[in-house]
């Protein structure tokens, strides 16, 4: 990488060496990739979603390939917040990258308990709230669909969190910008846009879902145009930084999201078939800036021309 070119970005009060992060649910806890790539080259990594207690997840099959993407119904399988702090975090501290923990719960109290557990860990840079999980106290409605409920969760987490709070927004809502504005007003330090889209796949011979559940989350290149549109809309609506997510599989994809207004990006599904994709994106982004005679990635962010 050309040392004259700066890939550094500032997000939620944190300095990132570059704007390339890995997305939750696609990169494990980061340590699974240490023999494949140098984690210290990443701007940051986002862990699998963490809950208060360990979860086994949904019955298999959990992943189905689709045209231009995949459906997943992992069911938020994870080792639990306490085990992460005890077993994973001490090792992650040995790498020069930001560790962002994705957290979820089935009620606001669940989220708060996860945050309290993680607050005791040393080496976490930020929390990412997954607000697309069922809130059983509201009859299964997703918190991410309700701007007021999303704001209430954000405000309560901010009161106790010892590090910045990002909120991961659901695209499965009538107005993502309304939710974005609500959580910004509640104190969110940044927004991750977007989570997966609800979809399904049917086995025509068994006449049932190809997965162990009826529906799953659609990700991959198929959702990129939708994600770009939503990143652009949210970035125009709020003042806090936006992390773009959705179908990024190349440096060209990353550049599109940055131009659309994302301060940083997260790579998800592409990690499954090209585990070193994030390194290729970092190198490609630097080469692009050099070719465009730009000295900093800051010149690119939000440069979309109407």
Structure tokens at 185: 């007003």
Which helix (H) or strand (E) is 181 found in, with range? helix 176-185
- Tell me which H or E stretch contains 99: strand 98-103
102 three-state secondary structure: strand
Residue 194: asked if its preceding bond is cis (omega within 30°), the reply is yes
Point out the catalytic residue in the list 133, 180, 234, 243: 133
Residues 6+ apart with CB under 8 A from 229: none
CA gap 226, 265 in Å, rounded = 15
Do 97 and 126 meet the contact criterion of CB atoms below 8 Å apart?
A: no
Whether 163 sits among the annotated catalytic residues: the reply is no
3-state DSSP of 201-260: CEECCCCEECCCCCCEEEECHHHHHHHHHHHHHHHHHCCCCEEEECCCCCHHHHHHHHHH
Catalytic positions, please? 133
């Amino acid at each position: 990488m050309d040392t004259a070119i700066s890939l550094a970005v500032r997000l939620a009060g944190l300095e990132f060496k570059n704007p390339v992060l890995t997305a939750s649910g696609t990169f494990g806890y980061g340590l699974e990739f240490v023999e494949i790539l140098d984690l210290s080259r990443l701007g940051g990594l986002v862990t699998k979603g963490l809950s208060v207690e360990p979860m086994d997840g949904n019955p298999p099959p959990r992943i189905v390939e689709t045209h231009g993407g995949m459906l997943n119904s992992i069911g938020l399988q994870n080792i639990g917040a306490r085990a992460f702090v005890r077993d994973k975090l001490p090792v992650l501290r040995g790498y020069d990258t930001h560790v962002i923990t994705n957290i979820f719960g089935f009620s606001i109290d669940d989220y708060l308990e996860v945050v309290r557990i993680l607050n005791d860990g040393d080496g976490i840079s930020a929390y990412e709230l997954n607000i697309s999980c069922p809130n059983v106290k509201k009859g299964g409605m997703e918190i991410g669909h309700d701007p007021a409920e999303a704001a209430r969760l954000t405000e309560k987490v901010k009161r106790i969190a010892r590090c910045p709070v990002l909120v991961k927004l659901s695209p499965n809502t009538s107005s993502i910008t309304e939710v974005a504005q609500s959580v910004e007003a509640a104190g969110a330090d940044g927004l991750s846009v977007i989570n997966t889209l609800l979809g399904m796949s049917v086995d025509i011979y068994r006449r049932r879902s190809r997965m162990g559940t009826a529906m799953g989350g659609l990700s991959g290149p198929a959702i990129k145009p939708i994600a770009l549109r939503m990143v652009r809309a949210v970035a125009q609506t709020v003042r806090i930084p936006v992390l773009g997510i959705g179908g990024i599989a190349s440096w060209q994809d990353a550049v599109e999201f940055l131009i659309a207004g994302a301060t940083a990006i997260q790579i998800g599904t592409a990690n499954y078939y090209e585990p070193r994709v994030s390194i290729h994106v970092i190198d490609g982004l630097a080469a692009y800036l050099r070719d465009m005679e730009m000295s900093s990635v800051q010149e690119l962010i939000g440069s979309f021309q109407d």
